[in-house]
């Protein structure tokens, strides 16, 4: 069975990620993840909605970007 273009891209991305991991190590990905998280939380903050929901709100414009639902105990 022939792979679709998206499946080929996914396979190529996986190989590239594995090669990067071999070359630079897992700390390279950890550092990139921390930098990405810092960028997101520098731009947005969480605001509670109701009893178990949150909204990601832009710090400058105060506009809601997206909603995040949290269900306690899960």
Q: How many domains does the chain have?
A: 1
- Does residue 65 have a pLDDT over 60? yes
For the question of whether the overall pTM of this predicted structure is more than 0.75, the answer is: no
Q: Is 43 contained in some domain?
A: yes
What's the mean pLDDT in 14-22? 96
Instruction: Give yes or no for residue 25 having a pLDDT over 60.
Output: yes
Could you list the residue range(s) of the whole structural domain that residue 17 is in?
5-69
| Average predicted confidence (pLDDT) for the chain | 90
Report the alpha-carbon distance of residue 32 to residue 18 in Å, rounded.
15
Residue 72: is its pLDDT beyond 70?
no
Q: Which residues contact 63 (CB under 8 A, 6 or more apart)?
A: 57
Distance CA 65, CA 61 (A): 10
Instruction: For residue 34, tell me if it sits in a domain.
Output: yes
The answer to whether residue 74 is domain-embedded is: no
pLDDT at 71: 59
């Amino acid at each position: 069975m022939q792979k679709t273009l998206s499946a080929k891209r996914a396979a190529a991305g996986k190989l590239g990620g594995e090669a990067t991991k071999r070359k630079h190590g897992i700390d390279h990905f950890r550092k990139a993840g921390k930098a990405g998280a810092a960028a997101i939380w520098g731009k947005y903050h969480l605001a509670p909605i109701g009893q178990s929901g949150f909204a990601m709100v832009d710090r400058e414009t105060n506009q809601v970007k997206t909603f995040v639902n949290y269900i306690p105990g899960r």
